[in-house]
Amino acid sequence: MKMDGFLEPSLNIIKGMCILDNDGRRIMAKYYDKNVLPTVKEQKTFEKNLFSKTHRANSEIIMLDGLTCVYKSNVDLFFYVMGSTQENELILLSVLNCLYDSISLILKKFVEKKSVMENLEIIMLAFDEICDGGIILDADPASVVKRVGDLRNDELGIGEPTVAQVLQSAREQIKMALLK
Amino acid sequence: MGSFRRDKDDDDEGSTSLYQNLEKTSVLQETRTFNETPVNARKCIQILTKILYLINQGEQLVSREATECFFAMTKLFQSKDIVLRRMVYLGIKELSSIAEDVIIVTSSLTKDMTGKEDLYRAAAIRALCSITDNTMLQAVERYMKQCIVDKNGAVSCAALVSSYKLAGQAGDVVKRWANEAQEALNNDNVMVQYHALGLLYYIRKNDRLAVSKLVNKLSRNSLKSPYALCMLIRISCKLIEEENLSGEELSDFPMFQFVESCLRHKSEMVIYEAAHAIVNFKNTPSRVLSPAFSILQLFCSSPKATLRFAAVRTLNKVAMTHPAAVTTCNLDLEGLITDSNRSVATLAITTLLKTGAESSVERLMKQISSFVAEISDEFKVVVVQAICSLCTKYPRKHTVLMSFLSGMLREEGGLEYKTSIVDTIITIIEENTESKESGLSHLCEFIEDCEHTSLAVRILHLLGKEGPYSNNPSKYIRFIYNRVILENPIVRSAAVSALGQFGASCPTLLGNILVLLNRCQMDPDDEVRDRATYYLHILQTNKMELYKRYIIDRNTSSLILLEKALSDYLNGNFNDKFDLAIVPKAAVVKVETKDEAMIVSNNAVRPTKITREEVSAAKVMQIPGIKELGPLHKTCPTTQLTESETEYTVQCVKHIFESHVVFQFDCLNTLPDVILENVRVEITPPEEFEIKGIIPCQKLPYNELGSCFVILKFPEDVLHSAATFGATLRFTVIDCDPTTGEPDSDVGYSDEYMLEDFEISVADLILKTKKSNFNAIFDEANTEEWVEAEDTFALSTVSTIQEAVNSILKFLGLGPSQNTETVAEGTHTHTLLCSGTFKNGADILLKAKLALADGVTMHLTVKTTEPDVADLVISAIG
């Protein structure tokens, strides 16, 4: 009660991380606090709710059901990192960036559902290297990738770029051109 | 468009078909492949991924399936494929909680953990710790210590994190690794620093001195990891908070200076953590406060939504503690009202509302009404809650706020939104008599066209309670009777009950009400007919005391406990009749100010709260013999009878019955090496009290809460009911083994322990009630059964009227009515209205007129149905 304004110092920072596809279906999800969304049913309802609130608004952060969620999307994927509403949002954001950048490095920038599914085992390992039981294990994408990405020596099955990927990279290029 | 969409889906299916429509049983069958030699790594990785994917999708494995799968997986240790091995670790972690005999892989993992391949080692440690139990831990302790100080960062991190997780269940063992953790703190790797600090703090957190040493040392040689710095700031804050320093002492305190210095760090994360910490201290001097607020202000205009969000959330949180400083950011906050991120916008609005001055209310409401139509229901609810707290703060503004709310009520919106508006209006009506008429008529209009049954029922109930005391009660009858004609059975029954209330409280309308109730007896629904018959029957008797007991003042039992008592009864034998008296009455709970609600957290609706008193009341009612004492009148809040850090801690809960009191002593044994037996509290009561019984607690092992009871009879003379008691804890001590809890011998020795004295005060004997129409009831209480006592006091110990009001309420334990417990600032006179019920059921009404002039003078008028009670109340003040 006395610690009203302050968080109890602890390494357990992350309450959950997930990746959803563009229909809001779960690709990967992990929840680390057994008091927060303890059952699969609650988790799925939460994800559905989260997706419906975030898939259109492109605004990076939302408070939902007593959790602060930072998010990011690309082509047909949505990445989320959840923490307590008292948590330092910038820490959560740094973890989200690490998750996204690591996956982007692993997939050679083709961050979309097809390549995630084709390399699911590596994505799972990366998930595990970033956060273990709610504790941030590593937040540097390069070092995460070093621990999991090198394992396959460029065997990654990246085939022909899909229409979506081409569009995406075209969009990026236009954006860059505009910025100049 | 439709066909294009389908094509796209087909395409998706092609690429992800590997993981679509997976079936648990068939995937588990595939694990047979694991037994093949040589191991086909590629195929096995795929199967393992499928299993993990299934589990992640929410598929549950039963213990047998998990165990089979786990054992199949152990075969894969033969393969040298790195990815496969890593997937096996992942599988081990995932299945370790479901499968049996998981320790079988200990040796394989220990080998990997101490081996040469760095890519195995870190992950192997984490997998190993997920399967280790306390007994196994001793065996791997040596390796863990080595790994913590390993020069490979990943290995060291893995070891530290695993130790941190293990510390929860095997604290004693992990404590021995403190030296290694200390060494790891000097590691160059940033994450190692962070994890080492986390572990060290966890190990030492109960040793204040060690923690402050740690902080002092680390705050000097700047840590490189921003995460570690954030952690260090949090630890410092915890220590500073415990110091309880004043403003000036605070700014000279080294740890605080460290936090302040973090404001100049280069990482935004650390800057924010420090600013957040500084503004959260209640007595930060303004010299330090202003740079922290400037940082938050800067964040408010950041292009990054997360930064804006973080800043506004912090401002919102401290709006009440540092209103002046938050007001300096008002311009930035107003800019954020239209922010594209809805969470940011809502937080900005509510912050503005919190800090808004009385004069700016109109302007703010205008601003809100310009965008309220565009935001989602969820945020509207937050806005309404903010308005609600504004009403409490500025009662004079009720006309503006009420008309705004009624406007919102007429617009489209879901149930939750409407409920919050109705809640707010009801709060305003309850707290502010002037607004009652207009509020009630807004609500009447609303139920004319309300699709939500639950809301209509609540409003009808409110009309029944408040309507009869308004200037023109008859105008509500039409609204209520319309419901009887037009609505569903639930609303109809509520409307009938409301009519009954009018009949009982307004004699002039009785004739009309009887006609209406007569018509309701033709209703097709059973419940509606039953209620109509019930009220008709009572109202036709024309007896005021029946009206009072069965219509106006119906006691409500605590619903949760009633439900529990009934289900217990259904499981028991039906020879005894169910006794409603064993269910405690619902306590009048003061609605807490909703500051917390204003920070946007749309928490799932919390289950109705049972107060702690209600829980212990339910417990005491189960003691054999207690039922004979009659219904429980009141359970008082807990009092501590020991210091909190002594060998035994004892708390006392007083349960008051009509002529008895039951003391419940909750005892806790904090010594791991003894068991207490036959624990009882011996009390020395004043001679007028009579001890009726003592129920000891048979056995009290380490760290368990046990209760013993003492039952006393109150003296006949009410004036002696309040008294002080001395108490001693007596028990038999038996030594035991601290680890197993097995007693060393059968015989113990008796011992005793002095407890602090405690008292039954007048407040303990009185149950708070809340009368919404206090003045009407007070004026009516002039019949024969009522006694009136008056006295005038000069209160020397208090200097303001508010203090006087607080102490009256505290000493007498009465519940205030009509918001008279808050005294407007700057006034010199005030009238406090409060009421309660004495333990013998006598109603107490108290009107205190207070005036301020060289100290507070008070004129007290007490009306009650028992002369002795009036004397007792007066004497409690004297």
For residue range A69-121, list pLDDT tens digits in order: 999 998 889 999 999 988 999 999 999 999 999 999 988 888 888 888 888 98
pLDDT band with cut points at 50, 70 and 90 for residue B554: low
Of B45, B126, B282, the CB nearest to A121: B45
User: How many CA atoms, within 13 angstroms, populate the side-chain half-sphere of residue B73?
Assistant: 33
Task: Give the least confident one: B349-363, B470-484, B598-612, B853-867.
Answer: B598-612
Residues of A in contact with B296 (CB under 8 A): none
What is the residue whose two structure tokens read 């009579």?
Answer: B690
> How far apart are the two ends of chain A, measured CA to CA in Å?
53
What is the residue whose two structure tokens read 């109960």?
Answer: B206
Res B374 pLDDT > 80: no
Burial class (CB in 10 A: 0-12, 13-18, 19+), B32: exposed
What pLDDT, on the 0 to 100 scale, is given for residue B694?
A: 86
Res B39 pLDDT > 60: yes
| Mean pLDDT value of segment B399-411 | 84
What pLDDT, on the 0 to 100 scale, is given for residue B561?
A: 74
Residue of B nearest to A59 (CA): B341
Inter-residue contact B533 to B565 (CB < 8 Å):
no
For residue range B486-521, list pLDDT tens digits in order: 888 999 999 999 999 888 888 888 888 999 999 888
Name which of B828, B843, B832, B825 is nearest B877 in CA terms: B832
Res B328 pLDDT > 90: no
Among residues 34-93 of chain A, which lie with CB inside 8 Å of chain B? Answer: 40, 43-44, 57, 59-66, 70, 85, 88-93
User: Across the interface, do A89 and B309 touch by the CB < 8 Å criterion?
Assistant: yes
B240 interface with A at CB cutoff 8 Å = no
Say which residues have a Cβ less than 8 Å from residue B485's Cβ, sequence separation at least 6: none
**ipTM for the complex shown:** 0.86
Find the length of chain A.
Answer: 180
- For strands B829-838 and B843-852, give the pairing: antiparallel
Q: Quote the DSSP letter at residue B605.
A: P
φ/ψ of B757, rounded to 5, equals -65, 155
Q: What percentage of chain B reaches a pLDDT higher than 70?
A: 92
Among residues 124-183 of chain B, which lie with CB inside 8 Å of chain A? Answer: 126, 154, 157-158, 161, 164-165
User: Across the interface, do B306 and A61 touch by the CB < 8 Å criterion?
Assistant: yes
What is the residue whose two structure tokens read 């390993």?
Answer: B150
Inter-residue contact B547 to B538 (CB < 8 Å):
yes
Alpha-carbon distance of B767 to B635, in angstroms, equals: 9
Alpha-carbon distance of B86 to B109, in angstroms, equals: 11
Res B590 pLDDT > 70: no
Of A44, A62, A117, the CB nearest to B19: A117
Res B600 pLDDT > 60: no
Alpha-carbon distance of B624 to B711, in angstroms, equals: 12
**How distant, in Å, are the alpha carbons of A92, B319, B517, B539 from that of B497?**
53, 44, 10, 12
Domains in chain A with CATH codes: 14-179 (3.30.450.60)
Residue of B nearest to A162 (CA): B11
**How distant, in Å, are the alpha carbons of B250, B351, B353, B380, B390 from that of B357?**
30, 12, 8, 21, 10
User: Across the interface, do A124 and B87 touch by the CB < 8 Å criterion?
Assistant: yes
pLDDT band with cut points at 50, 70 and 90 for residue B310: very high
pLDDT band with cut points at 50, 70 and 90 for residue B585: low
Inter-residue contact B617 to B653 (CB < 8 Å):
no
What pLDDT, on the 0 to 100 scale, is given for residue B14?
A: 45
Residues of A in contact with B603 (CB under 8 A): 65-66
Res B82 pLDDT > 70: yes
Res B198 pLDDT > 90: yes
B615 or B728, higher pLDDT = B728
Alpha-carbon distance of B13 to B628, in angstroms, equals: 72
Say which residues have a Cβ less than 8 Å from residue B782's Cβ, sequence separation at least 6: B788
Find the length of chain B.
Answer: 878
A169 or B839, higher pLDDT = B839
Q: Model pTM greater than 0.90?
A: no
| Mean pLDDT value of segment B76-105 | 87
pLDDT band with cut points at 50, 70 and 90 for residue B396: confident
Res B599 pLDDT > 90: no
Residues of A in contact with B15 (CB under 8 A): 113-114, 117-118
Among residues 300-319 of chain B, which lie with CB inside 8 Å of chain A? Answer: 304-307, 309-310, 313, 317
Best mutation site among B4, B13, B48, B57 for testing chain A: the one with the most A CBs within 10 Å? Answer: B57
pLDDT band with cut points at 50, 70 and 90 for residue B8: very low
Nearest C-alpha of chain A: how many angstroms from B411?
Answer: 23
Res B598 pLDDT > 50: no
> How far apart are the two ends of chain B, measured CA to CA in Å?
85
Alpha-carbon distance of B697 to B704, in angstroms, equals: 12
Highest mean pLDDT among A130-139, B214-223, B315-324: A130-139
φ/ψ of A7, rounded to 5, equals -80, 140
Name which of B600, B598, B597, B591 is nearest B354 in CA terms: B598
| Mean pLDDT value of segment B609-620 | 66
Nearest C-alpha of chain A: how many angstroms from B230?
Answer: 9
What pLDDT, on the 0 to 100 scale, is given for residue A1?
A: 27
Res B602 pLDDT > 60: no
Domains in chain B with CATH codes: 561-598 (no CATH), 612-760 (2.60.40.1480), 765-877 (3.30.310.10)
What pLDDT, on the 0 to 100 scale, is given for residue A13?
A: 92
Inter-residue contact B697 to B687 (CB < 8 Å):
no
CB pairs under 8 A between A and B: 172
Res B450 pLDDT > 80: yes
What pLDDT, on the 0 to 100 scale, is given for residue A18?
A: 94
DSSP of A152-171: GTT-----SPPHHHHHHHHH
